[in-house]
Amino acid sequence: MSVQTIQKRRTASAIRTLKGERPIVCLTAYTAPIAKLLDAHCDLLLVGDSLGMVVYGMESTVGVTMEMMIAHGQGVMRGSKAACVVVDMPFGSYQESKEQAFRNAARLMQETGCSAVKLEGGEELAETVAFLSRRGVPVMGHVGLMPQSVNATGGYRSLGRSDEEAEKIRRDARAIDDAGAFSIVIEGTVEPLAREISASLNAATIGIGASSACDGQVLVVDDMLGIFTDFKPRFVKHFASLAPEIDRAVADYAAEVKARTFPAEEHTFQMKRQKL
């Protein structure tokens, strides 16, 4: 009788223990096929509310709903086996009260099976993070540039250049860390400050537009693969250039359809020839 090895999915606590051991590899994922491709290489898959902009063409993440996050979270869970999956809590799903946050976090975890939830905010959300953590909800925090708040903060820009701004980010990160977050995303923050904050926290830090000294890194997968070509933030590196390849493939397909060379006989179902 053979014993089959069951692959265990990484947990939030397992991600936390990687701090100081080795860099944590993280990418966003929004669909089952992409999650399947990323799973072997990533410690953590983030179902980010960035899907509002990446998948649905929204101008910001503010219009993303719980239903959207649940549907995409379910897809990523089906497509992955090993990575820790974290799902963003969308704007308006946790800011009202810690009780509202718990109800929606519990719903996300129950309906997707994800390992943890992520929310944006600093000192003002520390009580909420502690409330969730004490009730069995692993929380990833998010400080620095917070996309859900761009309407209030004046748009997308790097933060931490002034003493006042830097101190605010320090306090935010410290408060979320003390509240029990297992990990904290540091986004759009000047490098020396991000480095300093990462070294001072117990939580594992995940940088995006921050510092190589963060405990891990995350990018939007469509950015990293070079699918978007009209806008490339400073912090993005194209590890592939898929947009031209996709354009070429679709152009070839269109040409063959118009020329009636596709589908060829091998792509169609023929009647079986009867034996005489």
Query: What pLDDT score does 156 carry?
Result: 65
How many domains are there within the chain? 1
Q: Is the pLDDT assigned to residue 101 strictly greater than 70? A: yes
Strands, DSSP E only, in the chain? 24-28, 44-47, 84-88, 116-118, 139-144, 183-187, 204-208, 216-219
Angle 21-210-227 from CA coordinates, rounded to 5°: 100
The dihedral region occupied by 70, where left means phi > 0, alpha psi between -120 and 50, and beta the remainder, is: alpha
**pLDDT classification of 135: cutoffs 50, 70, 90:** very high
Q: How many CB atoms lie within 10 A of CB 78?
A: 15
Give the separation between CA 69 and CA 89, rounded to whole angstroms: 8
Give the separation between CA 190 and CA 130, rounded to whole angstroms: 27
User: Which residue from 105, 35, 38, 102 is spatially nearest to 69, judged by alpha carbons?
Assistant: 105
Is 167 noted as a catalytic residue in this protein? Answer: no
Annotated binding site for Mg(2+): 49, 88, 120
Q: Is the pLDDT assigned to residue 153 strictly greater than 70? A: no
What is the rounded average pLDDT for all residues in the chain?
94
Give me the domain span that covers residue 166: 12-241
Q: Is the pLDDT assigned to residue 59 strictly greater than 70? A: yes
The CATH number of the domain holding residue 145 is: 3.20.20.60
| Sequence letter at residue 187 | E
Annotated binding site for 3-methyl-2-oxobutanoate: 49-50, 88, 118
In percent, the amount of the chain with pLDDT more than 70 equals 94
Top-confidence residue, 23 or 230:
23
The pTM assigned to this predicted structure is 0.92
Mean pLDDT of 169-176: 98
| Per-residue model confidence as pLDDT tens digits over 109-132 | 999 999 999 999 999 999 999 999
- Out of 96, 111, 165, 187, the active site residue is 187
The verdict on residue 87 lying in a domain is: yes
Annotated binding site: 49-50, 88, 118, 120
Q: Is the pLDDT assigned to residue 4 strictly greater than 50? A: no
The verdict on residue 4 lying in a domain is: no
The verdict on residue 175 lying in a domain is: yes
